[in-house]
Structure formats: C-alpha cells, structure tokens
C-alpha cells in the first residue's frame, strides 16, 4: 500500500514520538510510506524517528513558494481548494493559522502528484488536517484523519473536514462524545494509539530489598499536575523514589517545592530523555511502577496516555488519576485509578504500591496483558490499513 502521512512536526522536535510505532508498523508490513510534516522545524529528537528520515519531505521555503505558485497557475483545483478554505466561516485566529499552513500546500500537492498514494492520513484536527484536506481534495486522493484531544476542542473546521474525509478516527471512547458536542451526528472510528510490546517484561529483581522506584513521564506543565503528585508523594511517607522524566516551564517551581516538602533527596528531575533511551530504561527494569497525576478540566485532560501504555507494555503497574480516557487503559487488573485532585487517595495508592511488591508484580502482569490485547501498534496499524483500503 502506498501511503502519505501528514504530521504536525514529526519527526522534528520533541513531540509526537508516539507516532513512531504506528509508522514503523506500516513500513514493517511493506507499505510504501512518505511523511510530510506541516511544520518541519527543530531537530530530530528521538532515535526511532531518525530511522524514518529518508521517508520525510523536509522544509524548503523557496521550493514551497515555487510549488504553490506553479500549482495555482496550472492546477485550478488548488485555487478552488484554497477558495473553499478562505470562504469558510471560522474565527479570525483559526483563519490566520489555516492560511499560514497553506504555504506548504504546493509542496504537498507535488508529493501527491509524484507518489500517487492510495491514501493520505493526517494526525491532528488542527492546521495539519487543513493542509491535508486541501491537498487531497485538489488531487482527488482519499484521505482520513486522527483526532486526539485538544484538536477536538479547537474545532478547526471539524464538520467540514469530517464531511470531506473518508473516515475520522478518534483514539478513545470518551472522544466520541467530545466530538459530537461540536459535530452532532459524527460517527468516528474508535481506534486506540498503539505501542510496541517488548518481547519480555522488564526485569524487576530485588523488589523486596530496595525502595520502590516510581517514574512519571510527562511535560512539566500545569495539566500534568506534578505539584499534586509531589505533595501526595511526600504525604505518603512511602519508602520510595520518584523520577520525573520531562521538561517544561514549571521545572524551577517544582524543584523549589521538593525542597519545601523535604523530598528533594528522593525526587530526580531527569529532563527530556530520548524516546529510545526511555524505552531502554523501562525494559531494563530501572523503575517499578509508573504514575501520572493529571488534572481534569473541561478541555485539558488526558486522552489515553502513551507514557502509561509504554511502561505498562513492559510490565509496570500504573497509578493514575481518572482523567479523560485513562480508564480505558488502566483497568483494575492493571493498576489503580484515583479521582483527579484527590491527594489523599493518590498518597494511599503510592503507599500501597511502595509497601507491597507482590501487588506490583500482579498488577504489572495484568498491565502487560492489557496493552498486548488492546494497544499493540502492529494490530492498530493493520486495522488502519484495512480502513485505508476500504476508503479507496
């Protein structure tokens, strides 16, 4: 199958590492895959993304401008596609973003002309899908999109895009209801994001003799509620350590808080860690359990956290807040869910995990089974290719 994937920045920048397993699974299955980032800026931050670089159409502003001018003059469908975008009812901020992303429209159209793909798929319902829709309509190639979380609430021409796309995928059952608040009657396909399941679970020897080692993999931003996690960790009195993997604007504030709480000797700020290296550490048994204490606002909450998926795939049990669609991943056999904002319940869960290695082993085995059954990247990618074929 000949595929073009449109991303936001992937493989550039620190985000979207969760796309690697899906893309790699398509390639492993024999798909002829090309990747077109809408905003190809930054460096390649993750080793597994680097392997896909030969398939990426990078940024060349002069080429983008020439390609757009040439297609506007030679392919009337490109001008019509831009005209439909310009005339659509949309807030000024969204209109500005959509106009700007179309600076790459000529280059994407050129790729579709040259590659003649069977299908175009795009991640995110924001400007990356604006670009994909405009190009696919101009060349008359079937296309589809994956919606995640914030992009549903942004509502960037979602009704228009759903009408144009062959199908729309959402990554959780919760997202179906969220989408229908903006597009009544929408009937998306629910298909989780997937991760690679290691052939063997993490080696977690010596759990009875040493403190429990928790890890939290999340950007240091308010919605991830690291402050609540640190306060609960301190209140738990657990014989444990906590490593925070991720970077963000709250780092200085959170470092200060660990000192005030008297836990700075048991909390490690690891910063941004290469995705390959992170998975190596998970599989090597560097941690005993994964924790995520996200909040639950109206539009800011979790989808199904990939950081939990990857750790659970290696056999780590999870402690998480019941935010967004997390419950679709963390079942009672795979971990413990606590109400968002309930510091006492979170402290109790951390204390229980830290004091009971057998509980961790039992839930860790259940976590690995849960991911293998419902979140394996190869199965997810295979189902996507079935949908792509049906669309053709």
Q: Are residues 249 and 357 in the same domain?
A: yes
Q: Are residues 14 and 128 in the same domain?
A: yes
**Mean pLDDT across the chain:** 93
Domain membership of residue 272 (yes or no) is yes
Q: How many CA atoms lie within 13 A of 109 on its CB side?
A: 29
Give me the mean pLDDT over the 75-89 stretch: 87
Quick check: helix, strand or coil at residue 247? coil
- Name the pLDDT band for 88 (thresholds 50, 70, 90): confident
The pLDDT value recorded for residue 166 is: 97
Measured CA to CA, the distance from residue 8 to residue 16 in angstroms comes to 8
Q: Are residues 185 and 222 in the same domain?
A: no
Higher-pLDDT residue of 73 and 348 is: 348
The pLDDT value recorded for residue 383 is: 97
Q: Are residues 223 and 189 in the same domain?
A: no
Give me the mean pLDDT over the 244-267 stretch: 97
Q: Are residues 279 and 236 in the same domain?
A: yes
- Name the pLDDT band for 65 (thresholds 50, 70, 90): confident
Please check whether residue 303 is in contact with residue 325, taking contact to mean a CB–CB distance below 8 angstroms.
Answer: yes
Query: For the segment 276-321, what is each residue's pLDDT rounded down to a tens digit?
Result: 899 999 999 999 999 999 986 655 556 889 999 999 999 999 999 9
Sheet containing strand 32-37, edge to edge, reads 32-37, 2-7, 119-123, 143-147, 167-170, 189-190
| The pLDDT of residue 104 is above 70 | yes
The pLDDT value recorded for residue 296 is: 67
Domain membership of residue 203 (yes or no) is no
Domain membership of residue 200 (yes or no) is no
Give me the mean pLDDT over the 63-80 stretch: 89
Q: Are residues 102 and 141 in the same domain?
A: yes
Q: What is the pTM for the complete model shown?
A: 0.89
The pLDDT value recorded for residue 94 is: 92
Which run of H or E residues covers position 350?
Answer: helix 343-355
Query: For the segment 137-172, what is each residue's pLDDT rounded down to a tens digit?
Result: 999 999 999 999 899 999 999 999 999 999 999 999
Measured CA to CA, the distance from residue 80 to residue 88 in angstroms comes to 12
Give me the mean pLDDT over the 50-69 stretch: 87
List, in order, residues 6 or more apart from 64 with CB less than 8 Å away: 103, 104, 106, 107
Give me the mean pLDDT over the 193-216 stretch: 88
Q: How many domains does the chain have?
A: 2
Q: Are residues 75 and 217 in the same domain?
A: no
Give me the mean pLDDT over the 242-268 stretch: 97
Q: Are residues 140 and 228 in the same domain?
A: no
- Name the pLDDT band for 17 (thresholds 50, 70, 90): confident
Measured CA to CA, the distance from residue 53 to residue 165 in angstroms comes to 27
> Token pair 């309930």 is at which residue?
342
- DSSP H helical ranges for 8-126: 19-28, 47-50, 61-74, 76-87, 92-101, 105-115
The pLDDT value recorded for residue 274 is: 86
Give me the mean pLDDT over the 246-260 stretch: 97
Q: Domain residues for 387?
A: 2-194+376-391
Give me the mean pLDDT over the 40-52 stretch: 83
- Name the pLDDT band for 335 (thresholds 50, 70, 90): very high
| The pLDDT of residue 204 is above 80 | no
């Amino acid at each position: 199958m000949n595929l073009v994937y449109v991303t936001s920045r992937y493989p550039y920048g620190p985000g979207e590492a969760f796309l690697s397993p899906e893309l790699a699974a398509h390639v492993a299955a024999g798909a002829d895959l090309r990747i077109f980032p809408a905003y190809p800026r930054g460096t390649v931050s993750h080793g597994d993304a680097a392997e896909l670089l030969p398939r990426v159409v990078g940024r060349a502003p002069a080429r983008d401008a020439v390609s757009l001018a040439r297609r506007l003059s030679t392919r009337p469908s490109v001008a019509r596609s831009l005209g439909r975008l310009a005339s659509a009812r949309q807030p000024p901020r969204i209109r500005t973003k959509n106009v700007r992303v179309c600076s790459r429209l000529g280059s994407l159209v050129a790729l579709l002309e040259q590659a003649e793909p069977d299908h175009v798929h795009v991640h995110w319902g924001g400007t990356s899908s604006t670009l994909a829709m405009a190009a696919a309509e101009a060349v008359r190639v079937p296309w589809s999109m994956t919606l995640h979380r914030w992009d549903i609430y942004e509502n960037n021409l979602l009704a228009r895009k759903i009408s144009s796309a062959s199908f729309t995928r959402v990554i959780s059952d919760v997202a179906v209801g969220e989408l229908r608040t903006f597009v009544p009657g929408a009937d998306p396909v629910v298909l989780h994001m997937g991760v690679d399941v290691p052939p063997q679970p993490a080696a977690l020897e010596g759990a009875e003799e040493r403190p429990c080692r928790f890890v939290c993999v999340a950007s240091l931003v308010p919605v991830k509620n690291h402050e609540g996690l640190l306060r609960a960790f301190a209140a738990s009195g657990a014989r444990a350590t906590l490593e925070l993997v991720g970077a963000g604007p709250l780092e200085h504030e959170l470092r200060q808080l660990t000192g005030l709480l008297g836990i700075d000797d048991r909390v490690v700020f690891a910063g941004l860690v290469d995705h390959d290296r992170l998975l190596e550490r998970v599989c090597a048994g560097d941690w005993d359990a994964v924790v995520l204490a996200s909040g639950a606002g109206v539009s800011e909450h979790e989808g199904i956290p990939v950081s939990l998926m990857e750790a659970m795939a290696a056999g780590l049990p999870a402690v998480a807040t019941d935010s967004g669609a997390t419950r679709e991943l963390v079942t009672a056999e795979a971990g413990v869910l606590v109400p968002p904002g309930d510091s006492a319940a979170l402290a109790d869960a951390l204390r229980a995990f830290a004091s009971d290695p057998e509980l961790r082993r039992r839930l860790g085995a259940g976590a690995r089974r849960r991911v293998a059954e419902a979140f394996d990247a190869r199965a997810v990618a295979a189902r996507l290719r079935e949908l792509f074929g049906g669309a053709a």
